[in-house]
A and B are shown apart, each in its own frame.
Chain A
Amino acid sequence: MSHFIEFRNVSFRYREDQPWVLVNVSFTVQADEWLAIIGHNGSGKSTIAKLMNGLLLPQQGEIFVDGIAVNEESIWDIRKRVGMVFQNPDNQFVGTTVRDDVAFGMENHGLPRQLMLKRVQSSLAAVGMSDYQAHEPHRLSGGQKQRIAIASVLAVAPQLIILDEATAMLDPKGRLEIMETIRQVQETQDLSLITITHDLKEVIKADRVLVMNQGRTWLEGTPREVFAAKDALRDIGLDTPFVTKLAAELTAAGLTIQREPLNHQELLEELWTLHSKM
């Protein structure tokens, strides 16, 4: 089976006199998969993102995207396949209006104008921002700007979208907006998704979670498996969601929670069926 992305024993450091940021990292991402990468600051998770589309090149090991090795010659080809959304909503908005910004990536790849006009429409519709074509960036909220950033990436029709802490600078409302947009996009479009975050709440809907610690892959599994390792997560500086903490307290108080709950609904389910199981 072919993987869409494959990291083979990748190590990376920014400068020779500095410590390794990534040490011997190997993992794969399948087509159509949603992988969440979590880790605290400095765990190397953003570096992984930048390695995937050739913004950085590894010192050791190899990276394959869609079967192509990432190197100086292939980066332009790879950037067509891998789209990226960054943390700061303002600093990735290139165009003077929403329309111009969505077109920026397509202009770079030399798409014909007719196709661009069509794709601007469709990708803005996909993130629910069709009414904002002529808006300037300073008239949009942070969440709206991030949705435009997602639309700009979608317009190039990549096979993988990486969201590198795309919600970190937003207020709770904007964060919800973006998570909802991402979920919709992943459902309706045929693409793989990698979300990078330090917030465990954002990994619940992912297919698989990769936990990074000090430049190494520390744990890999489904969200449920990862949440079950809550004590270990706390030890490496990741804060577990309230529901997980509550479940842990309940277990300590003598209740048997069989399935690690991911949200309030599931915990509720566990609790009201508790008696019948005993």
Chain B
Amino acid sequence: MSSSMIIGQYVPGNSVIHRLDPRTKIAIIFFFVLIVFFANSVMSYGLLTLFAAGSAISTKIPANYLIKGLLPVWFLIVFTFLLHLFVTKEGEVFFSFLSFEFYTGGLIQGLAISLRFFLLILVTSLLTLTTTPIEITDAIESMLGPLKKIRFPVHELALMMSISLRFIPTLMQETEKISKAQASRGVDFRTGPVKERIKAVVPLLVPLFVSAFKRAEELAMAMEARGYQGGEGRTKLRELHTGRLDIYAYFLFVLVIIGLFITRS
């Protein structure tokens, strides 16, 4: 049934990380992505790895779920490592095989870059794993708030995001319905040459678009009937709250940054 339909990869839970204000999470992750590039010693990498691993463990999300989630990027991480190993020719030769010579510099750089890559992906996926899409939307609306002064349509952007999130399951159900209706009329989506299968998508997409436009029109009418007149003078039911937990998180993160600059060589 559709009740199991999950948008994005959010894993419900009540861990410390789940309970953090989404703005805190976004801010910390943003700066983490920046400081990862400052690490250059074993100690500094160790510190960042400790921080990322600690965060991942405290989400209480099973490790195999995390690893499975990173599956598509494992290839990239390994590829980066191998590329550096083969191409970089610094330091001493520590191993040679047939006509290939592997240098220590290449090994170290390969390890460092792929670790960096791994940390970035792990930490950013922690955000989407522990925060609902609508929380992220709220956080973005709140964090971009100052841009309203230069007439950037922050509220409209957030509304667009939340309406898209709202209609993803609806349109998915509709797609399923249309594809069944078309299949019953003899459209074959699964077999045949690629060209034919691409053509078969057309009778699926056309009704889907027509109905999406109709929905949009009716939704706009319903929103207007309910008094929607833009972000001006609007109040919000959903509230973001920065609490003590968030202050602890920031404090810990500042310590990590200081630690990083001490352990850098």
Contacts and interface: CB of A to CB of B under 8 A. Distances in A.
Given A86-B222, A107-B236, A113-B236, A96 B162 contact: yes
A80 interface: yes
Interface residues of chain A: helix, strand, loop or mixed (majority): helix
Nearest 6 CB-CB pairings of A with B: A92-B222, A103-B237, A91-B218, A138-B169, A108-B227, A105-B226
A107 B218 contact: no
Interface in B176-223: 214-215, 218-219, 221-223
A86 B227 contact: no
26 contacts: A55-B221, A55-B225, A76-B229, A79-B225, A79-B226, A80-B227, A84-B226, A91-B219, A92-B218, A92-B219, A96-B134, A96-B165, A100-B237, A103-B237, A104-B226, A107-B234, A107-B237, A110-B234, A111-B235, A136-B169, A137-B169, A137-B170, A138-B2, A138-B169, A139-B3, A156-B226
Contacts of A156: 226-227
B73 to A, nearest CB: 29
Interface string A31-62: 00000000000000000000001010000000
Contacts of A107: 234-237
Interface string A19-36: 000000000000000000
Interface of A: 53, 55, 76, 79-80, 83-84, 86, 88, 90-96, 99-100, 103-113, 116-117, 120, 136-139, 152-153, 156
Contact of B227 (A79, A93, A138): A79
Interface of B: 2-3, 5, 134, 162-163, 165-166, 169-170, 173, 214-215, 218-219, 221-229, 233-239
A90 B172 CA distance: 13
Contacts, number: 95
A99 B218 contact: no
Given A107-B234, A113-B237, 13 more contacts: A55-B221, A80-B227, A84-B222, A90-B170, A96-B166, A105-B226, A107-B237, A108-B234, A113-B236, A116-B237, A136-B169, A137-B166, A152-B226
B3 A94 contact: no
A111 B233 CA distance: 9
Nearest to A99: B237
A120 B238 CA distance: 12
Nearest to B234: A107
A112 B227 contact: no
Given A86-B218, A96-B134, A116-B235, A109 B166 contact: no
B219 to A, nearest CB: 5
A159 to B, nearest CB: 14
A231 to B, nearest CB: 36
Interface centre among A103, A107, A112 (most CB of B within 10 A): A107
A94 B170 contact: no
Contacts of B163: 94
A96 B158 CA distance: 13
Contacts of A93: 166
B1 to A, nearest CB: 9
A112 B170 contact: no
Contacts of A152: 226
